[in-house]
Structure 1
Amino acid sequence: MEEEQLWVKQVLAGDKEAYANIINKYKNQLYATVLRMTRNPQDAQDFVQDAFIKVYRNLDKYKADGSFSSWLYRVAINHCMDEFRKKQYTTVQVEVDEEKVVNPNHPEIIFLKHEKSRQLERLVSILPDDERLIILLRYVNEVNYEEISEIMGVPLSTVRNKLHRAKKKMRETTKREGGYFHDLSNDR
């Protein structure tokens, strides 16, 4: 049994303190993902906080046969998309100092550890929302294709096609505008 499933059972049994374990485990990586969706640190904090509240209130709907992290991401991403639709949300490019926002040694942040992070952020930011989200889940959060499919509620083939198209667009932009993005040549 995953530790998350144990925590879920504890919370559902009335141990509200067990929920802190879930928050502590996922807050940084969820914030990093949402920040890249919103490109606004304050909105990202608000959306993550709201998402954790939704997760808490709907914990009884989590089915232990699937990955808890996939379910958590799904709730958070759906919340963000709902907020985007409600407010006709527009994103604004902001410079983000990853070292101050998230623990720089956290494995999910490895994507941003190389010297070309600003170029990568810009390349990712020009992608359509669905392709950007797939890139972020795959390379920032190191989520596998099957989990991305589950999180986004689309077939596995769609995930692979959108990932391929996104990487192709990023390569073409890099080739056209200059720069080098070696991570896209390796399909992890």
Structure 2
Amino acid sequence: MDEEIRYVRQILAGDKRAYIHIINRYKNPLYATILRMTKNPQTAEDLLQEVFFKVYEQLPKYNPKGPFKSWLYRIAINYCIDQLRKKRIQTEQIENTIIRSNDTPEVVLLQNEESRELEKMVSLLPEDERNILLLRYANELSYAEISETLGISIIEVRNKLYRAKKKLRKNAKEGGYLYGVSER
């Protein structure tokens, strides 16, 4: 009887310690294979651990008629290819986002900081002005739609919106931020 098949049977019978023998026997050759695929030692180590978890989960599906080593390598290689494909897709998405935006990480960070600061300033506005500002710019409603939604006149919508933007401009200048809040 093949040694691996004996260990597989022991594992399936509940002896989890028998899996250590399989790990010890295959960790170095599997690592070398994964390292050739990834060309990154840390990624190879991470994937090796994940492969051993995957193999353990799949042990009940192993057919003892075939060679264990081939079955093990097939799982390892397929898993690594899937993970590398996912990583490549994620990398491409990130690169596409960066290319589209043409923004450096510093610019993105500053924009996020400015957005948080603006949100904080908007939250300090009186509720009626804040609501009108959000309806106009976040929800892109017209003056007439805001008027209808809040049950106030269009003139009142314009006046409150004007006051809200004026307060934001004042707070932005005092805080060192110039947000370009338009007059419209």
Greater share of helix residues, 1 or 2?
2
TM-score normalized by the length of structure 1: 0.47
Comparing both chains, which one has the higher relative contact order based on Cα–Cα distances under 8 Å and sequence gaps of 6 or more? 1
TM-score normalized by the length of structure 2: 0.48
Q: Which has the larger radius of gyration?
A: 2
